[in-house]
Structure 1
């Protein structure tokens, strides 16, 4: 996991949208954050910073400010919970499936009002 911070010079909102679309299409990107005030783009994931900059330079001027490992959130250790065995009522498991008897459909040809007349 890498964290890449880029300085991107954009002048229009349309360029911001294109930059976000371009960066989000790169394989390995997990999160993107954009600071429009400082014109910074922060990308985290398994990515190559040079590849990202090469794609963004087709749209606007781009600089690499920093590349480093992404900080993972600290994991709090949870105390182990004692697992209690739940008793299963055996009587509920012994029900058998009751199959319905098969009914055969039949059709009386003489009483059919939609019967063919040409016969």
Structure 2
């Protein structure tokens, strides 16, 4: 199995659908994924590279092949797990930094203590209200 990544502009869901339909018309493809935000099209399967690139470049002039190579599902799963772990650690680190940042800017909340002191010797009423 082969894996090819093509970088191209994708503006909306309609163009994403057109790109996927164009690539799906080629024989031997098992998986097609498109990340619209990054403009990254990933094609997996046994296919002819030239046929796919020719179809894409004829309709989308900015389509450029980024990577091509063998596809190993085990390696992909390990890579995805490592990326997920790294993303989780990064989000935890940001949360801790945000918490620390809030404390350093504001500091701990002020503690106000109200203390009333009465001298019982000078007070002849014998009643204390505070």
Q: Per the shorter chain, which TM-score range? A: 0.5 to 0.7
Post-superposition shift, 1:63?
0.3
Counterpart for residue 67 of structure 1? 68
Matches of 2:48 and 2:4 in 1, distance apart? Answer: 9
Q: Specify which structure has the higher proportion of helix.
A: 2
Counterpart for residue 23 of structure 2? 23
Q: Against the structure 1 CA distance between its residues 10 and 36, is the aligned structure 2 distance closer, same or farther, given a 3 Å change threshold? A: closer
Alignment of 1:92-107 (within 5 A): none
Residue 9 of structure 1 aligns to a residue whose secondary structure is coil
Unaligned runs of 5+ in 1: 75-119
TM-score by length of 2: 0.52
Q: Write the deviation string for residues 17-76 of structure 1: whole angstroms up to 9, x where unpaired.
A: 1111111111000001111111000000011222111101222120000000001338xx
Does the 8 Å contact 2:34/2:40 carry over to 1? yes
After superposition, the CA RMSD in angstroms is 1.6
Counterpart for residue 87 of structure 1? none
Matches of 2:23 and 2:67 in 1, distance apart? Answer: 17
Residue 58 of structure 2 aligns to a residue whose secondary structure is coil
Does the 8 Å contact 2:5/2:67 carry over to 1? yes
Residue 69 of structure 2 aligns to a residue whose secondary structure is strand
